[in-house]
Chain A
Amino acid sequence: MSGFWKTMTAAALLLLSALPAQAGDKIRELVIFSRPQAANPQEFQSIQLIAQEWRKLGLDIKIEVLPWEQMSTVVWDQRNDWDITGWQMVGRPERGDPDELTYNLFHSSTAAEGYNFVGYNNPAYDEIATAQRAETDPEKRRQLIFTAQEIIAGDQPIINLVHQRLAYAFNQTVWDKASVVDQAGIGIKNFWTFIGLRPLGAQHDIILNAADNVTAINPLYISGPVDSWITELIWDRLLRVGADGLPHPWAAESYAWVDPTTIDVVLRPDLKWHDGTPVTRDDVIFSFTAPQGDKVPMYKPFVGNIAGIAPVGDRGLRFTLKKPSAAFLTATLSKVNIIPEKVWAPEFAKLEGQEKTAESVQEAMPLGSGPYRFVRWTTNEEVVLEANPDHFAAPHAARWILRSVPNTEAALGMLKSGEINFLADYAGDPRVLQDLVAANPDLDMVLTTDLGFRFLGLNERRGPFDDPAFRRALSTAVDRRLIVGAAFNGFAVPANSVVSPVLAFWHNPAVDAMETGTDRAQQILAAAGYTLVDGKLHYPGDRAETVKP
């Protein structure tokens, strides 16, 4: 080859290497589902802000507004047909244990039909999520949960946005401020507050509001969030999730792991049903075995791991498990209501051979053994409970009266006028409540960081979301501080883990320091081979668009 050709070839090679990497197909328009502004203003606003950021990366983003019923049907039943969706997990006492959120949301076994609707599939993660389930040593389990959070932070199967700040208020001339319990991640509206509130004057009734109607008062039916406030008070459980988010002895005075599949509990000696008859060991066994059949579908998953229950000593019970389960304390012993066999055994007999389940049984006078007794339920108006003075943790209040108030503004007015003295349900702007409390010295407001969180789910069954680098770039481009300020009026904290920072024992602080910004996101995309052509983002050279509009 002559010198001339050598030079030309070298020049051509040089030129080629200087060209940008070969571009793949242009990334299609990506669609984000959001609930309507009227139904969920914060989600709607957050998604508007996120779409703006993502457009800066060269993406075409479309926001599709759908009511919850419609959106969830697509996300749940048509798992291949969507791109990105707004979603939220609400805080519940039993979510103080990280098992449900780390396992059910991301384990590949729940991808086909369960809660892993984003379709995340990472064998390394599956291994950790399964291992933490079986690890009954808290310290070792904590390390596993920490690792799980690190994997999630790296892979970003969902884009965590914020933990909201929950606002509740009460009248501090009626209730002793010191007796209000702020439960980690749940707020002051909780079981411990309701049994602990100490009256200061003549008013001894806790009168609180709920926007939703009560649909059922049934210990075997998880019928709604408001209904569960009631069932928690009427029925006892062996353990209770405490204000610290961890399970504590309740109707069982103690518990002890014998080995990873055996746990012994000892019942309290003084347990009585509200009709005065004693709670027997058989009642407790019945409460855990009845849901194993087909008549209590909602509680069945919680007792599925129980292989057997046998009496031990005078007041003891031994639970044998099919496989080790660290979450058993929170997800089963703190969850299953203890019910009287004499009431429910005949009901189960009647249901035999019918399509109906125990969920359709509504006792006229629900009978439990909890700190409050049932008095009356007027449909869509109020539920009245009275203190059970014979309970080992008898409440200081005389009655617990739940008023159904669908109008948020009216609920605020009622708090001011004294028609209610505990604001237990407030869906409005926390700033409005803050102003009201500031203007009324009788009132006090308590803010708590939610253990629930808001997020965007990315459908990993479809490109480009099957690429962790792409997901990481999207997440990096989201300015969570802006969302906190603009969409939540400052009443939220940025989130980057499904384990809320309020759960101090389980939360891994290492994932909090997340670098964000459009520049950083662009760097991640470039490093992964994504290119910009005429301002639009294209797949890396070896990838084609597989989803056709």
Chain B
Amino acid sequence: MVLGRHARGLRLAAGKAGQLLFVAWAIASLLFLIFRLMPGNPLAAFIDPSFTAEQRVSLSRQFGLDRPLFEQYLLYLWNLAQFELGQSFFYRQPVADLVLGVFPNTLLLTLTALLLAYGVGLAGGALVAWRRGGWAEKLILPLVLILRAAPEFWLGMILLAIFSFSLGWLPAGGTAVAGATSVGFFERVLSIEFLRHLCLPAMTLALYLVGLPLLLMRSTMLEVLDEDFVTLARMQGFREWTVVVHHAARNALLPVVTAFALGIGYSIGGNVVIETVFSWPGLGRLLVRAVQSHDYPLAQGAFLLIALVMVTMNLVADLLYRWLDPRVAHVA
């Protein structure tokens, strides 16, 4: 029996890995095509009175754009198979270095905002469900809906105007004070200055994100609070607080955990607006520039990374679910 379980686990893992590879190939191919189907070409950026036709041809050759599309595609796949993302047309640097250079900034911003949003969202959702129909619900529900619907740049500008330009409490952009002496990565991100710079962008993103966990938590809590085991716990004479936190909330967490894992994937790619408003040197800004200037290798690399994070987080959510709720694994 033990052997059988192992074999099943292996088969499951192999199946998942195969799916992952297929998805990665499909995404990579789509990315390749999408950017080349866009009207315009990267050489537009070099139009200048001193730019000669000879230079144009040489640049086209250097970028590999003089070869047939199919050949470009095969070369691209071959390079990808060797984890080679190519060289950016404009930065003239390896795409991997550029993307991984700014990726930690995006990750830190996203994770901070997500933790904040889910922390507040979970507690808020539980509270609202527990005190259903109370003043808290009447106040909180419309508020998170407004925050969710408000454009991020607008929210960001309002926070900037208040906390940075009017009160002067927080800096308006970047990750550090202008000209700050550079230190190691961990020393830098753990410094007070970094946290001060992180405050506004993380708060904006968190305010935007808080709606989902809050509403999700509220609705599952409402369901769980009606379940028999909660009634039983109440009848056993546990205090209301213990019932809500230990019995109800723990069981209502499941869908929220899934949403969190997926949220990482979604937010990594969706930070463009916030990174622009707060001059945050992250992946989103790199990506926008790459798309605008038709920097195919860089745009492909950045999108591929985002896609891979999303696919991986999907897998993580899947596995987490199996672990948190063994019934899922049994059904499967």
Chain B associates with chain A: yes
21 pairs, A vs B, C-beta closer than 8 Å: A100-B50, A104-B49, A114-B52, A205-B178, A213-B289, A216-B91, A216-B93, A218-B92, A221-B92, A223-B92, A224-B90, A294-B58, A297-B59, A298-B50, A355-B62, A378-B182, A382-B174, A384-B179, A404-B174, A407-B278, A420-B178
Residue of A nearest to B88 (CB): A215
B142 close to A (CB within 8 Å): no
A362 close to B (CB within 8 Å): yes
Whole-angstrom CA separation of A251 from B143 in the bound complex: 64
Which of A76, A112, A215 gathers most chain B CB within 10 Å?
A215
Distance in Å from the Cβ of B97 to the closest Cβ of chain A?
Answer: 9
Whole-angstrom CA separation of A167 from B165 in the bound complex: 22
Residue pair A401, B161 in contact (C-beta under 8 Å): no
Residue of B nearest to A378 (CB): B281
Residue pair B182, A379 in contact (C-beta under 8 Å): no
Residue pair B53, A73 in contact (C-beta under 8 Å): no
A65-88, CB < 8 A from B: 67-70, 72-73, 76
Q: A67-B40, A380-B286, A410-B277 are in contact. Are A360 and B93 (CB under 8 A)?
A: yes
The residues of B that contact A545 with a CB separation of less than 8 Å are: none
Whole-angstrom CA separation of A403 from B294 in the bound complex: 24
The residues of B that contact A301 with a CB separation of less than 8 Å are: 50, 52, 55
Residue pair B173, A405 in contact (C-beta under 8 Å): yes
A300 close to B (CB within 8 Å): yes
Q: A104-B50, A205-B179 are in contact. Are A410 and B172 (CB under 8 A)?
A: yes
Residue pair B279, A404 in contact (C-beta under 8 Å): yes
User: Across the A-B interface, how many residue pairs have beta carbons closer than 8 Å?
Assistant: 151
Distance in Å from the Cβ of B273 to the closest Cβ of chain A?
Answer: 10
A105 close to B (CB within 8 Å): yes
Residue of A nearest to B277 (CB): A407
Residue of A nearest to B64 (CB): A355
Whole-angstrom CA separation of A332 from B138 in the bound complex: 71
B280-300, CB < 8 A from A: 281-282, 285-286, 289, 292-294
- If over half of B's interface residues share one DSSP class (helix, strand or loop), that class is named, otherwise mixed; here it is loop
Residue pair A409, B157 in contact (C-beta under 8 Å): yes
Q: A73-B41, A379-B281, A406-B279 are in contact. Are A362 and B93 (CB under 8 A)?
A: yes
Residue pair A381, B40 in contact (C-beta under 8 Å): no
Interface size on A, residues (CB 8 A): 60
Residue of B nearest to A222 (CB): B48
B304 close to A (CB within 8 Å): no
Residue of A nearest to B182 (CB): A376
The residues of A that contact B292 with a CB separation of less than 8 Å are: 69
Q: A298-B55, A355-B62, A401-B179 are in contact. Are A414 and B173 (CB under 8 A)?
A: yes
A207 close to B (CB within 8 Å): yes
B168 close to A (CB within 8 Å): yes
Whole-angstrom CA separation of A382 from B44 in the bound complex: 27
A416 close to B (CB within 8 Å): yes
Residue pair B178, A379 in contact (C-beta under 8 Å): no
Residue pair B178, A380 in contact (C-beta under 8 Å): no
The residue that A413 contacts in the complex, of B61, B164, B176, with Cβ under 8 A, is B164
Residue pair B44, A73 in contact (C-beta under 8 Å): yes
Distance in Å from the Cβ of B193 to the closest Cβ of chain A?
Answer: 13
Distance in Å from the Cβ of B92 to the closest Cβ of chain A?
Answer: 4
A348 close to B (CB within 8 Å): no
Q: Measuring CB to CB, which residues of chain B are less than 8 angstroms from any residue of chain A? A: 38-41, 44, 47-53, 55-56, 58-59, 61-62, 87, 90-93, 98, 101-102, 157, 160-161, 164-165, 168, 171-176, 178-179, 182, 276-279, 281-282, 285-286, 289, 292-294
The residues of B that contact A357 with a CB separation of less than 8 Å are: 62
The residues of B that contact A419 with a CB separation of less than 8 Å are: 171-173, 178
A373-405, CB < 8 A from B: 376, 378-382, 384, 399, 401, 403-405
Distance in Å from the Cβ of A178 to the closest Cβ of chain B?
Answer: 25
The residues of A that contact B175 with a CB separation of less than 8 Å are: 381
Lowest 10 A-B CB distances belong to which pairs?
Answer: A69-B40, A113-B53, A380-B281, A104-B49, A360-B92, A381-B281, A70-B39, A413-B165, A115-B49, A72-B44
Which of B39, B49, B157 gathers most chain A CB within 10 Å?
B49
Whole-angstrom CA separation of A127 from B32 in the bound complex: 48
The residue that A72 contacts in the complex, of B47, B49, B278, B286, with Cβ under 8 A, is B47
Residue of B nearest to A67 (CB): B40
The residues of A that contact B278 with a CB separation of less than 8 Å are: 407, 410
Q: A104-B49, A215-B90, A376-B182 are in contact. Are A410 and B62 (CB under 8 A)?
A: no
Which of A216, A355, A382, A401 gathers most chain B CB within 10 Å?
A382
Q: A221-B92, A294-B58 are in contact. Are A73 and B40 (CB under 8 A)?
A: yes
Distance in Å from the Cβ of A270 to the closest Cβ of chain B?
Answer: 28
The residue that A382 contacts in the complex, of B160, B179, B277, B285, with Cβ under 8 A, is B179
Q: A73-B40, A221-B92, A381-B174 are in contact. Are A417 and B165 (CB under 8 A)?
A: yes
The residues of B that contact A223 with a CB separation of less than 8 Å are: 90, 92
Residue pair A379, B58 in contact (C-beta under 8 Å): no
The residues of B that contact A309 with a CB separation of less than 8 Å are: none
A444 close to B (CB within 8 Å): no
Taking A73-B44, A407-B277, A413-B164 as known contacts, 17 extra A-B pairs with beta carbons closer than 8 A to each other, sorted by chain A number, are A67-B39, A67-B40, A69-B44, A70-B39, A205-B179, A215-B91, A294-B58, A360-B92, A380-B102, A381-B281, A403-B279, A409-B157, A410-B160, A410-B172, A410-B173, A413-B160, A419-B178
